[in-house]
């Protein structure tokens, strides 16, 4: 059986993920929680944009700003 995208996110809870946003930023952090709208709560968050990295700490990212979510190796 093929996993649903929400099942894949559930398995990534507590692990590092990469989120690409519509504004071009990339966010890396540890997935803590999410909802059915794909609003995502991350800890130890860093924003990477234009070759700069900014530490953000705990972040809530609104689902409608996300292009994709991927695991970080």
pLDDT at 1: 59
The predicted-structure confidence for 23-66, as pLDDT tens digits, reads as follows: 999 999 999 999 999 999 999 999 998 889 999 999 999 999 99
d(CA 34, CA 51): 28
Q: Please tell me the total count of domains within the chain.
A: 1
Domain extent for 39: 5-71
The beta strands (E) that lie in 1-73 are given as 16-21, 26-34, 40-49, 52-61, 66-71
Residue 42: DSSP 8-state: E
Strand partners, 16: 30
User: Which of 7, 17, 1, 6 has its CA nearest to residue 69?
Assistant: 17
What is the reported pLDDT for 55? Answer: 96
CATH code (residue 63): 2.30.30.100
């Amino acid at each position: 059986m093929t996993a649903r995208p929400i099942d894949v996110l559930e398995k990534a809870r507590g692990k590092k993920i990469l989120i690409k946003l519509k504004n071009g930023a990339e966010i890396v952090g540890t997935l803590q929680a999410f909802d059915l709208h794909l609003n995502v709560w991350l800890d130890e968050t860093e924003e990477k944009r234009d070759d700069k990295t900014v530490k953000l700490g705990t972040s809530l990212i609104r689902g409608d700003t996300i292009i994709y979510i991927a695991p970080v190796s």
